[in-house]
Structure 1
Amino acid sequence: MDSLLSRIRRGELWQSPGGIHPPTHKHKTNSLPIHSLPLPEKLVLPIKQHIGAEGQLLVSAGEQVLKGQALTRPNANWSVPVHAPTSGRIADITPMPSAHPSAIPELSIIIEPDGQETWCELVPHPNYQQLSAERLVDIIHYAGISGMGGAGFPTYVKTASKQPIDILIVNGAECEPYISADDVLMQAHSEEIVRGIHIIQHLLGPELTIIGIEDDKPKAIEAMTQACADYDNIIVRAIETKYPSGGEKQLIQILTSKEVPAGGIPADIGVLVQNVGTLYAIQQAVELGKPLIERVVTLAGETLEQQGNVWALLGTEIKHLLAFQGFNPEPMQRVIMGGPMMGFTLPSVRIPVVKTTNCILAPSNQEMPAPGDERACIRCSACADACPASLLPQQLQWFAKTKEYQKLEEHKLFDCIECGACAYVCPSEIPLVQYYRVAKAEIREQQIEQVKAERARERFEARKARLEREQEERRNRHKRPSRSAAKSSESKEKVAEALARVKAKKTEPGDNKAKVAEAIARAKAKKAQGEAPEPDNSEVAQARAQRKEQARAYKAQKQQPEQAPSATTDDKKAAVAAAVARAKAKKAKQSEQSDSQPTAAEDKKAAVAAAIARAKAKKAAKADASTQQPHEAAENVESETEASSAEDNKKAAVAAAIARAKAKKAAREADASAQQPDGAAENVESETEASSAEDKKKAAVAAAIARAKAKKAAKANAPTQQPDGAAENVESETEASSAEDNKKAAVAAAIARAKAKKAAKTNAPTQQPDGAAENVESETEAPSPEDKKKAAVAAAIARAKAKKAAREADKNDDEESS
C-alpha cells in the first residue's frame, strides 16, 4: 500500500464536505499588474493589527520617525510590533475607529508623511542558513509579520512550533469572490515566495511542501510551477474552484485527506499552513531586513472607474484608496472590507488599511443588492448541505436566538469557520453567520466570567483552609506544652541553684552578719567586765542648771514687764558668747583628732562628748519653752511672749537656733566617727543589747521628747521661720535692739554656723552631712579593724547612756518647773 506522501506526489486529491460555487468576478482585477499609490496626507496606524496583545509604545507625539522604524515593541505573548510605513512626524497618538464591524476606537498612531521616504537602517540576512532557528524566529517576530490571509495569527508562533511538521501547505487558493491579491502576487513575485518557502523549510524541516491554487488562476499556477521546477520537495497542486476551499482545514483535507480534530490546530496532525502573502513578507524581512509596512489590496466593484490591485501602505485610509480608483458612490452605497462572503460593511471610509486587509469592495446596488428582510425558516436543509464543517446551521440558529449556550457548545458552534455559505444559500435570507458571531461573543464572555468565578472560589477555599489550619495550630499550641513553659521551668531551676549557692556563701566564716554577731558578743563581754568607760555628766548638769536659770529669768521678765531689758540683753549676750566659745573648743578638738588619727579611746571620748552636746542642746531648747506643754507651745508662743520685749524674744530665738544648729552638727560628727561602713549604724540596737530593755526604751522615748521640745521651742521663738533659717534672719529679728547688739548677735550666729560647717567638713570631707555615717571607714583608716569595732560599740553604749541621763534630767526639770 502506497504511503500518503507517495499518493500526494502522484497528484491525488480528496474532497471536503459542503461548499458552494458563487460567481468569482476575478477577471476584472487579476489580469492587471500591481500599481502603487501616492502618499496620503496622513497614516493612521492602530497599534494592534493581529490576534493577540498590543505592543508597547516606543514613540511620542511630535517625534520624527523614519520609514521602517519600530513604533511599538512586543510586551506579551502573541504580540508583534508595528512600524512606520514612511518617514514623517507623529502628529498624535489617540484612539481612532478600528477596522471592525463595530468601528470601536483603538489606540492609533497618526503620522504626517514628509515625502522624503527616508529609510531607517536595515539589517539584511541573505545567508540566513548560517543563523540559528531562534535568531530567524526573532527576525520574523520583530518584523511585525502576522497572517495575511485574513485571520492575523502571529507568524512567529507558527514558525516556532515544537511539534514535528511533516507537510508545509502554501495557501494560494484565494476562494473568496472578487479577491485576487494573492493571484497577482504569485504572478509577479513567485521567486520571492519560493525563497520564503525555503526559509520556513530551513526552520521546520518538512518532508514535503504543497502549494494549493484553485484552477481558476492559471497564470499563478504557471508562475509558481516555474519557480519550483528545481525543487523536488515543493509541488504545485491545482484544486477545484469551490468556496470555501481556501479555508485552512478544508485545504488540508483536500490536499492530504487529513482532518484537523475539533478544537485542535494543524500542527496536531503534523501540518503547517502559510499564506503566500505571509511567505513574501518573511522573505522581505529576512533577506532584505524590511519590516511589514505594506501589502497588496484588491479594489473591486462597479462603482470604481478603475479596478485592480495596489500596494497600500498600512495605515492608509480607505477613502484615499477609493479616491485614486475613481470612486463614484451611489445612494445607500456600501463599502465592504474583505470579500462578499466573509467581509463586513464599513461604518466609515476613514477606516485604515491593516495587515489583514486584502480587499475593498465597493459594489453597486444592482451588482450586490441589499439583503431582504429575514423570513421564517422553511427547513429546506440547504444550509446543512452547504456547511463545510458538517454542522446543523438551523439548529444552531434556534439555540442562538434562545441563548441556550450549553446546547450550542454541544452542537459544536465553535467549529463554524463563519464562511457564510449557509447564509448564501438560505432562501429565507436569514443572517445565520450574524447569529453565530453574537452567540460566540456571549459564550466567550460567559466563559471568562466562569474562569474569574472559579479563580475567586479557589482563592476563597484556599483562604478558608489556611484560616482553619491556623486555628487548628493555635488549638494544638495550647494543648501541648509550650516552649515558654519549658524555659520558665529551666529558669526556676537556675534560680534555685543560685539561692543554694547564696545560702552556702552566707554560712562561710567571712560573712558580714557573722562578723557583726561577733562584735556584739565582744561588746556584751566587755560590759559584763566593766571595761566600758562611764560618761562624764558634769557638763550636762551644768547645762541643766543654766537652763533653769534662764527659765527663772523668763518668769521674772513676765512678772515685771516694765523693767528695763538691759539685764536680759546681757544674759542673752553671755549665752551667745558661751555658745561661740564651746563651738571653737569643739572645732579645735576635732581638728586635733583628724590630724593625729585618734585611737580607740579618743574615739570613745569624742562620741561621749557629742552625746553630751546633743543633750545640752535639747535641754536648752526645752528651757526656752519650759512653761508650755509640748503640744501647745507652738500655738501659745504669741501669748507667752507678749510680756517680754520684742528684743528679748528675737534674741532668744537666735540663741535657740544657734544652739540647735550646733547640737545637730555635733551629733552628725559624733555619729560619723562612730559608725562602720558595712552598716553598723543600722545595727545600733543590736550592738547595745547588753543594756536592759527598759533602758533602751527610756532612752528612745527621751530622745523623741527632746527633739519634739526643741522643734516646738524653735517654732515658738520664730513662728514664721523654719528652724534652719533662724540664723539667716538674725538681722531682721533683732531690729528692736540697738545696732551694736544686733551686729554682735549676727556675727556670733554666722561664726557658729561657719564653725559647725567646717567641723562637719573636717570629719567627712567628701560626704554630705546626711552621708557622714557611711564614710567613717575612710576617715578612720589608720586604726586596725579590731579597734574600729571596739570604738563603734563603745560609742553606741555611750550614746545610749547619755540619752538615758538626758531623759532623767528632763524629767527632773519638768518636775521643778511645775
Structure 2
Amino acid sequence: MGIFGSKEFPGTGSFPHGIHPPGNKFYSAGAQVEVITVPDKVVLPLLQHIGAPCEPVVKPRQTVACGEMVGEGQAFVSASLHTPVAGKVKKIGVVTLPNGRHLPAIEIKTEGEQQPCNELWEEMTSTDWSLSTIPDYSPDEIARLIHAAGIVGLGGAAFPTHVKVMPNDKRLIDSLLVNGCECEPYLTCDYRLMKEAPHAIVAGALLAGRAVSAKEIFICIEDNKPEAIEALELATRNTVVQVAVVRTKYPQGSEKQLVKAVLNLDVPLGGLPSDVGVALSNVGTMAAVARAVIKKGPLTHRIVSVTGGGIVTPKNIFTPIGISMGELIDFCGGLTEDAARIIAGGPMMGFAFSDLTTPVTKGTSGITILTHAETASGEETACVRCGRCVEACPMNLVPTRLAMAARYKNTALARQYNINACFECGSCTYVCPANIKLVQLIRTGKAQVAAAMKR
C-alpha cells in the first residue's frame, strides 16, 4: 500500500510497465513563475479542446473587453472562449496548430485599458480562497460557473471540465484524483503552480469534489517533487483533501495509470475512470476552477514552461492564451546556436513545429527546445522482435503490430489490436532499439481508422 503522510491508500503508488526517461526538469524547475507583458495582439483558435468547436460571437471591428466571451461553446462537449486582452477584433482567419490541424481563429488587436497580468497572477497565488464559503455553492452551480468560464483540462488533454463535474445520478463518483504528477520530461509548469499557488489548487479540488459528490479527494504528486509535496501538505491542513505521494515513473500522470497507482482500480479497456467511480483533473485545472467559481473569472491565462538546452534562459511564464510562441521564446532570450527542434509540449507526447507565430492555446503546457545533441538518434532499422515496446506499453498493447498495420494501411488489423486504446505516450518509441517511430505510425493509423469509419 502507498502512504498519504501517515495514512495508507489502496494502490502501490505505481502501475505495471512504463519507463524511466531522464526527467531533465533542472532546466526550469528552479525558475519562479514570471509574468509576461500584455501582447500587441492575440490569435484565438475556436477549437482548443476535445469536442465541437465554439461559435464566434463577435464580428470584425468590434471592440471587446478583457475576459469577454468571443466564442461560445454551444455543444455539450465544447468550451467557450474568452479574450485575455481588451481591443478590437481584426478578422476571423485560419491558423495551423503544431498537431497539423487547420482551424478558424479570432485575431484581436490590443487597444485601450488592460488588466495587468501580474494582478491575475497575484490573485492566483493568494492564500485566501474563502474555503468556508464552498458549501454555499451547489453542485449544479459549480458546474455552471465552470462551463461559463470555458475551463478545459490544462494538463494537455483539454477535455471540457464541466462535462467531468456535471452531477449525474447514473455515474456515482467515489474519488476525485487531482493530477500533479507532471511526468512528461522537461515540463515544470505544474510543479511551479503547486509551489507558488497551492491554496488555489486546494480550493478548486474542494469545489470539484463537491460538484461530483466525491467521498475522497487526493492530490497526487510524484516523489521527485518534495517541495511541491510540502507546499500542498501545508495547504491541505484542516481540509478533507489528502496528498498522495506516488513513485516517479512515466507515464504516471496518465489517468488509467494514476487510478491504478493510487486506488488499485483497473479502468476497463476503452472505458473511462468514471466507470470505476473516479474523476480526474489536473492541478492547473483546479486552480482555474477556483478562480472561475470564487472570483468569477474566465480562463484567459495559463503557465507555460519554455525549457530545454536550446533556449537561452528557461522560464515558467504566466501568459495570456493567444500570444505567439515566438514571443515567449523571445521573452526567454531567444534560441541558442545549437537549438535543433522546437516542440509544443514535452518530448514524449508533444508535436514539433517551426512556425513561431503559432499561438498558445489552453492546452499548451510547454515549449521544449532541444539541441542537436538531444535530438541525435540512429537510423531506422528492421524490427528485431525484441518485445521491448510490449514490455514498456502501459496499456498492454502490441505497438509493433499497430505500427505495421498503419504502415500497410490495414485498418481492420489496427482495430483488432485496439489502436484507439493507445494514448500516444511514446514509451514504445523511446525503448525501440531499431529507432522505429512507433508512436508516429500509430497516430497515422488512428487517422486511417477514423477515415475508414466515415466511409
TM-score by length of 2: 0.92
Alpha-carbon distance change, 350 to 9 in structure 1, aligned in 2, over 3 angstroms: same
Q: Which amino acid aligns with 1:378?
A: V
Residues 101 and 347, structure 1, Cα contact 8 Å, conserved in 2? no
- C-alpha deviation, 1:105, in angstroms: 2.8
Alpha-carbon distance change, 308 to 418 in structure 1, aligned in 2, over 3 angstroms: same
Match of residue 363 from structure 1: 370
**What is the aligned counterpart of 1:151 among 153, 157, 173?**
157
Match of residue 109 from structure 1: 106
**What is the aligned counterpart of 2:177 among 164, 169, 183?**
169
Residues 78 and 154, structure 1, Cα contact 8 Å, conserved in 2? yes
- C-alpha deviation, 1:115, in angstroms: 5.7
Specify every segment of 5 or more residues in structure 2 that has no aligned partner in the other structure, as ranges. 121-128
Residues 128 and 286, structure 1, Cα contact 8 Å, conserved in 2? no
Q: Distance in 2 between matches of 1:118 and 1:358?
A: 23
Specify every segment of 5 or more residues in structure 1 that has no aligned partner in the other structure, as ranges. 450-818
**1:205 equivalenced with 2:203 (yes/no):** no
Q: Distance in 2 between matches of 1:176 and 1:331?
A: 23
Q: Distance in 2 between matches of 1:146 and 1:28?
A: 27
Task: Please give the per-residue CA displacement for 1:672-721, whole angstroms capped at 9, x wherever unaligned.
Answer: xxxxxxxxxxxxxxxxxxxxxxxxxxxxxxxxxxxxxxxxxxxxxxxxxx
Aligned residue pair count = 439
Q: Distance in 2 between matches of 1:187 and 1:413?
A: 38
Q: Distance in 2 between matches of 1:332 and 1:170?
A: 35
Q: Which amino acid aligns with 2:414?
A: L
Say which structure, 1 or 2, has more relative contact order (CA 8 Å, 6+ apart): 2
Match of residue 223 from structure 1: 231
Q: Distance in 2 between matches of 1:129 and 1:47?
A: 34
Q: Distance in 2 between matches of 1:351 and 1:424?
A: 27
Q: Distance in 1 between matches of 2:93 and 2:384?
A: 49
Q: How does 1:211-360 map to 2 (within 5 A)?
A: 211-231=219-239, 233-330=240-337, 333-360=340-367
Q: How does 1:624-703 map to 2 (within 5 A)?
A: none
Q: Which amino acid aligns with 1:160?
A: M
Residues 306 and 366, structure 2, Cα contact 8 Å, conserved in 1? yes
Q: Distance in 2 between matches of 1:57 and 1:356?
A: 20
- C-alpha deviation, 1:205, in angstroms: 1.8
Q: Distance in 2 between matches of 1:413 and 1:313?
A: 36
- C-alpha deviation, 1:370, in angstroms: 4.0
Task: Please give the per-residue CA displacement for 1:459-490, whole angstroms capped at 9, x wherever unaligned.
Answer: xxxxxxxxxxxxxxxxxxxxxxxxxxxxxxxx
Q: How does 1:555-634 map to 2 (within 5 A)?
A: none
The alignment partner of 1:179 has SS state of coil
Match of residue 183 from structure 1: 191
- C-alpha deviation, 1:227, in angstroms: 0.9
Residues 297 and 357, structure 1, Cα contact 8 Å, conserved in 2? yes
Alpha-carbon distance change, 134 to 11 in structure 1, aligned in 2, over 3 angstroms: closer
* Higher strand content, 1 or 2: 2
Alpha-carbon distance change, 332 to 284 in structure 1, aligned in 2, over 3 angstroms: closer
Match of residue 124 from structure 2: none
Alpha-carbon distance change, 371 to 13 in structure 1, aligned in 2, over 3 angstroms: same
**1:445 equivalenced with 2:448 (yes/no):** no
Q: Which amino acid aligns with 2:433?
A: P
Match of residue 85 from structure 1: 84
Percent sequence identity is 35
Residues 13 and 254, structure 1, Cα contact 8 Å, conserved in 2? yes
TM-score by length of 1: 0.52
Q: Distance in 2 between matches of 1:321 and 1:346?
A: 15
Residues 66 and 118, structure 1, Cα contact 8 Å, conserved in 2? no
Q: Distance in 2 between matches of 1:377 and 1:228?
A: 49
Match of residue 145 from structure 2: 139
Alpha-carbon distance change, 269 to 349 in structure 1, aligned in 2, over 3 angstroms: same
- C-alpha deviation, 1:185, in angstroms: 0.1
Q: Which runs of 4+ in 1 moved over 6 A?
A: none
Q: Distance in 2 between matches of 1:266 and 1:287?
A: 27
Alpha-carbon distance change, 315 to 80 in structure 1, aligned in 2, over 3 angstroms: same
- C-alpha deviation, 1:332, in angstroms: 7.4
Higher-Rg structure is: 1
Alpha-carbon distance change, 235 to 326 in structure 1, aligned in 2, over 3 angstroms: same
Residues 66 and 114, structure 2, Cα contact 8 Å, conserved in 1? yes
- C-alpha deviation, 1:372, in angstroms: 3.7
Backbone CA RMSD of aligned residues: 2.2
- C-alpha deviation, 1:250, in angstroms: 0.4
**1:389 equivalenced with 2:395 (yes/no):** yes
**1:426 equivalenced with 2:423 (yes/no):** no
Residues 128 and 136, structure 1, Cα contact 8 Å, conserved in 2? no
